[in-house]
A and B are shown apart, each in its own frame.
Chain A
């Protein structure tokens, strides 16, 4: 059964149970078993290559946590904490690779939250790359007029040169977005929701297995 075609509520429930299992686990062996299950999931979903690319980005963070915890506590605790972080990041990776922003919003709407809430969620995700582009443009413009924007401690006061234009442009964009939404009937009642969602028997079965695993991990602890 392809996970990507699951009802978004199923994906959300599986993700929530996964996070609960990782957060309640504090021993190295169960955490290792969880990582094994996650790796099995990566293999089954054919996500190994993209995960390796993402792993290169998260590895410094995991190593940093290990070093800080090893200095502050013990090496065993550091190993447990970094493994738990790795599990959390891997689960988040799988979750966001299998659920689109709209599906996430739809899952909240189907759970009874107002459409406006799910719309805000999906729209804010839509604008992340745009804001990223805005930040790059502003930094280029300020560096070109001689302002040092490199990430150095002495340059911290210079970052007002990024924040001010960014905030002002974000406010302007927000107002224009509101105008554009109103001009296409956002406030009108009786909206059509084209996509129909149904939780299948198989999905209930998978959620039951996941719940069983969660209980097993809690008991193991």
Chain B
């Protein structure tokens, strides 16, 4: 069905390094292939080769041959290939460019010149398969992350392509969204579509796949059945092996931050309802819950980005209502999900200098210590935009920590990151706790939260539904049944891996 023969590719003619390096790969009809690799391994580039984006959209240097259904992609155009190989992109906002879900699904069919009647039939059929009939009139901006992902799949599935390639379809999704997408992928595979999933969340897809292909720095390092992939996946850090969580030393844990009965609403719609939380000095607390449960809204109250409609917040015993976020930054550092939102300087060093100059307590020793801790010395002269996703995240966290805040808050730090970075980040957080920092992690990645936090706060529908030791809450069947917590895919899949080996 798809044949890649001795593929070498680089994006720039002047570049020396190949992004793909001697790839030989044949994908047969009806296979479910998990194509995985760490950040920068070349897996997305491989996906672009399959539907002709390389060489028709990207310039660069391509050696070797790619054939789809017996046709060399060089001799076909993208207009020929798009109905043969459907590519679902990672960024749903880029793929959903129409004003309604119905028009989104229709777009590809309209490109093919199908009749209006045929298009309507296909829209109905696709909406039924994905159970999105109720969303057809809605604009993509009004959808949840999981719904957006289903619509991106629908926009390609309606063309009935024999091959579907999905680039990180589970990125940004919580366990429930991921479960819906996985169910759809399993169905597609059962119905005979060849499915290629490019993923960093290896465990989640591994049990559905019939074949696992692992890339490392552009080279194919494993190609076989999922059950035999464990040693390679661990060696490549695609299944994170977290450091052991040390029991915290006995110490006086005064509340550093207290939220008392805070409520927040937007246009009369409650986002937080009577949320009370205390963050103890020197602990790592994880605020966990599904997407849309109010986690990010809650932490925006910590530094005054939002003010509660009711209730109050105390930091070190003092109210923060009249304090601005920029004043609070030296006490409470918050780093949000997308590190690209922060960068505007030419070099990493200049990015870090902003915090140093604003904090008013510039210390060369702490800067040095931070550079060692976050392994930044080699990056200081580089542009922050040219770094890998893991490096960007490290710089973003360091740019907050350089101000030496009492409390560090990380919003969804695991999103878009590979296993290698997750291991590094878990180690960093545990080191920061040893140095006396208090850390709050906001995440729907329960495995990461379990590996790092001493305490969980579970939010569901804007309310606190659980607080306590992670090991107990993760097993709480009432919370899992309610949907406030999920049996995390990766935890499940690790079990599957263990059973398989």
Q: Which residues of A contact B (CB under 8 A)?
A: 100-102, 122-123, 125-127, 129-130, 137-138, 140-148, 150, 160-161, 163-165, 168-169, 173, 176-188, 190-194
Give min CB distance, A218 to chain B, whole Å.
37
Please tell me if the beta carbons of A185 and B97 are within 8 angstroms of each other in the complex.
no
Within the assembled complex, what's the spacing in Å between the Cα atoms of A101 and B108?
Answer: 19
Please tell me if the beta carbons of B99 and A100 are within 8 angstroms of each other in the complex.
yes
Please tell me if the beta carbons of B99 and A183 are within 8 angstroms of each other in the complex.
no
Give min CB distance, B121 to chain A, whole Å.
13
Within the assembled complex, what's the spacing in Å between the Cα atoms of A147 and B141?
Answer: 29
Q: How many residues of B contact A (CB 8 A)?
A: 63
Please tell me if the beta carbons of B329 and A179 are within 8 angstroms of each other in the complex.
no
- B438 in the interface (beta carbon within 8 A): no
- B76 in the interface (beta carbon within 8 A): no
Please tell me if the beta carbons of B334 and A144 are within 8 angstroms of each other in the complex.
yes
Please tell me if the beta carbons of A140 and B99 are within 8 angstroms of each other in the complex.
no
Please tell me if the beta carbons of A190 and B330 are within 8 angstroms of each other in the complex.
no
Contact with A along B253-295 (1 / 0, CB 8 A): 0000000000000000000000000000000000000000000
Instruction: For the complex of A and B, list the 9 residue pairs with the smallest distance between their C-beta atoms, beginning with the closest.
Output: A185-B111, A146-B329, A176-B94, A164-B344, A188-B79, A141-B341, A190-B113, A146-B358, A143-B325
- B430 in the interface (beta carbon within 8 A): no
- B336 in the interface (beta carbon within 8 A): yes
Please tell me if the beta carbons of B99 and A165 are within 8 angstroms of each other in the complex.
no
Please tell me if the beta carbons of A183 and B78 are within 8 angstroms of each other in the complex.
yes
Q: Can you list 16 residue pairs at the A/B interface with Cβ under 8 Å?
A: A123-B97, A126-B97, A140-B300, A143-B329, A144-B334, A145-B354, A146-B358, A147-B326, A150-B324, A161-B344, A181-B97, A183-B51, A184-B82, A191-B110, A191-B113, A192-B112
**Residues of B close to A184: CB separation below 8 A:** 82, 107-108, 111, 155-156
In addition to A137-B336, A138-B341, A144-B329, 19 A-B residue pairs with Cβ atoms within 8 Å of each other are A137-B341, A143-B325, A144-B325, A144-B333, A144-B400, A145-B354, A146-B329, A146-B330, A146-B355, A147-B358, A161-B344, A168-B385, A176-B89, A180-B89, A183-B53, A183-B86, A184-B108, A187-B79, A192-B114
Contact with A along B42-72 (1 / 0, CB 8 A): 0000001001010011000000000000000
Please tell me if the beta carbons of B89 and A179 are within 8 angstroms of each other in the complex.
yes
Please tell me if the beta carbons of B385 and A147 are within 8 angstroms of each other in the complex.
no
- B173 in the interface (beta carbon within 8 A): no
- B200 in the interface (beta carbon within 8 A): no
Please tell me if the beta carbons of A130 and B141 are within 8 angstroms of each other in the complex.
yes
Q: Which residue of A lies closest to B360 (CB)?
A: A146
**Residues of A close to B155: CB separation below 8 A:** 184
Please tell me if the beta carbons of A194 and B340 are within 8 angstroms of each other in the complex.
no
User: Among the listed A126, A150, A165, A176, which residue makes an inter-chain contact with B91, where contact means beta carbons less than 8 Å apart?
Assistant: A176
Please tell me if the beta carbons of B110 and A192 are within 8 angstroms of each other in the complex.
yes
- B7 in the interface (beta carbon within 8 A): no
Give min CB distance, A175 to chain B, whole Å.
8
Given contacts A145-B399, A165-B342, A176-B91, contact A194 B107 (CB under 8 A): no
Please tell me if the beta carbons of A192 and B115 are within 8 angstroms of each other in the complex.
yes
For window 148-174 of chain B, which residues contact chain A by CB distance below 8 Å? 155-156
User: Most chain-B CB neighbours within 10 Å: which of A141, A178, A179?
Assistant: A141
Q: Which residue of A lies closest to B329 (CB)?
A: A146
Within the assembled complex, what's the spacing in Å between the Cα atoms of A147 and B325?
Answer: 9
Give min CB distance, A145 to chain B, whole Å.
6
Please tell me if the beta carbons of A194 and B116 are within 8 angstroms of each other in the complex.
yes
User: Among the listed A126, A146, A164, A187, which residue makes an inter-chain contact with B99, where contact means beta carbons less than 8 Å apart?
Assistant: A126
Contact with A along B10-53 (1 / 0, CB 8 A): 00000000000000000000000000000000000000100101
Please tell me if the beta carbons of A141 and B342 are within 8 angstroms of each other in the complex.
yes
User: Among the listed A125, A161, A178, A194, which residue makes an inter-chain contact with B119, where contact means beta carbons less than 8 Å apart?
Assistant: A194
User: Among the listed B56, B87, B335, which residue makes an inter-chain contact with A144, where contact means beta carbons less than 8 Å apart?
Assistant: B335
- B190 in the interface (beta carbon within 8 A): no
Within the assembled complex, what's the spacing in Å between the Cα atoms of A142 and B336?
Answer: 10
Give min CB distance, A168 to chain B, whole Å.
6
Please tell me if the beta carbons of B111 and A188 are within 8 angstroms of each other in the complex.
yes
Q: Which residue of B lies closest to A161 (CB)?
A: B344
**Residues of A close to B440: CB separation below 8 A:** none
**Residues of B close to A138: CB separation below 8 A:** 341
Within the assembled complex, what's the spacing in Å between the Cα atoms of A123 and B113?
Answer: 21
Please tell me if the beta carbons of A187 and B326 are within 8 angstroms of each other in the complex.
no
Please tell me if the beta carbons of B57 and A160 are within 8 angstroms of each other in the complex.
no
Given contacts A146-B329, A191-B110, contact A168 B91 (CB under 8 A): no
Contact with A along B308-348 (1 / 0, CB 8 A): 00000000000000001110011001111010111110000
Within the assembled complex, what's the spacing in Å between the Cα atoms of A179 and B48?
Answer: 10
Give min CB distance, A183 to chain B, whole Å.
5
**Residues of A close to B99: CB separation below 8 A:** 100-102, 122, 125-126
**Residues of A close to B434: CB separation below 8 A:** none
**Residues of A close to B51: CB separation below 8 A:** 183
Q: Which residue of B lies closest to A172 (CB)?
A: B340
Given contacts A140-B305, A140-B336, A161-B344, contact A145 B355 (CB under 8 A): yes
Within the assembled complex, what's the spacing in Å between the Cα atoms of A181 and B78?
Answer: 10
Q: Which residue of B lies closest to A148 (CB)?
A: B326
Please tell me if the beta carbons of B78 and A187 are within 8 angstroms of each other in the complex.
yes
Within the assembled complex, what's the spacing in Å between the Cα atoms of A183 and B399?
Answer: 38
Q: Which residue of A lies closest to B341 (CB)?
A: A141
